[in-house]
Amino acid sequence: MDLSPDLLEMAKTRVEGLGLGDLVVCVEADILTAYDKNGKPAQGLDLPPLGTVDVVTCSYCLTMIPPWAQALDAMVALLADGGTLGLVDFTKRSDKPNAWSQLLNQWWFANDGVYFDEAHTTNLRSRDDMITTWFAEAEGNVPYTPLVATHYTWTGKKIPKGSAKPCEVFTPKYAPSAPDAPRYVR
Ligand SMILES: C[S@@+](CC[C@H](N)C(=O)[O-])C[C@H]1O[C@@H](n2cnc3c(N)ncnc32)[C@H](O)[C@@H]1O
């Protein structure tokens, strides 16, 4: 799902190139309005019913959606109990969100409609309906700029309604998301 027809064209080209054309449906929609108030796909969009999806992933989108908490709720609503949500995006370092480097990135990217906010990962890790199974932050170069920005990867599983939240199965730590990624100096 994406708002942008141009991005969907790129996605379709990649899907076809990978030989997955028969398996993947690209849907032009806004995550914030894709389902109506009764939980049905809006305007006949070719989307699955809420509460039925095994895996939802979201890559570098949340920072572009000002009502990001609403977008996260919509992604969680799509998941079946026990389903997995996986996100990768920019953030401000959760251990020092007000360091000058993090504030500089926040200001710089906001000029381009990309809003860094450590509340995204705080929300993900503290939700009552999700249990964190992976969380890592690492810094990496931003292509074509001298900037170094913080990225995170997060995965979690949906907790069935009415069930107690189990203890976190993953001990969060600052770990590079790839073996050769730069580590934080703490
Ligand atoms: C930085 S691009 C990432 C594209 C792709 N997910 C990737 O990782 O290559 C962010 C995308 O989020 C989409 N987007 C922003 N707000 C959205 C919304 N409310 N609903 C659906 N897509 C949205 C934009 O159209 C854009 O294609």
Give residue 49 CA to ligand 1 midpoint distance, Å.
Answer: 21
Atom 3, ligand 1: residue with shortest CA distance: 60
pLDDT, residue 43, reads 87
Give the bridge partners for 135, in sequence order: 154
DSSP 8-state class, residue 150: E
Number of domains the chain is built from: 1
Q: Which atom of ligand 1 is nearest to the CA of 32?
A: 19
Select from 2, 6, 26, 88 the residue to mutate for testing ligand 1; criterion: most ligand atoms less than 8 Å from CB: 2
Residue ranges making up the domain that contains 116: 50-158
Atom 9, ligand 1: residue with shortest CA distance: 59
Give residue 15 CA to ligand 1 midpoint distance, Å.
Answer: 17
- Which residue shows structure tokens 């990217």? 109
Indicate whether 41 belongs to any domain.
Answer: no
What pTM was computed for the model? 0.89
Indicate whether 114 belongs to any domain.
Answer: yes
Using CB distances shorter than 6 Å, the residues near ligand 1 are 1-4, 7, 30-32, 59-61, 64-65
Q: Which atom of ligand 1 is nearest to the CA of 65?
A: 16
Token pair of 6 as six digits:
């141009």
Indicate whether 65 belongs to any domain.
Answer: yes
For the domain that residue 56 is a member of, what is the CATH number? 3.40.50.150
Indicate whether 169 belongs to any domain.
Answer: no
Indicate whether 76 belongs to any domain.
Answer: yes
pLDDT, residue 169, reads 60
pLDDT, residue 173, reads 52
pLDDT in tens, the chain (186 residues): 999 999 999 999 999 999 999 999 999 999 999 999 899 999 889 999 999 999 999 999 999 999 999 999 999 999 999 999 999 999 999 888 999 999 999 999 999 999 999 999 999 989 999 998 888 888 888 888 888 899 999 999 999 988 887 776 655 555 544 444 444 332
Indicate whether 167 belongs to any domain.
Answer: no
Indicate whether 6 belongs to any domain.
Answer: no
Residue 55's contacts (CB-CB under 8 Å, 6 or more residues apart) are: 83, 84, 85, 86
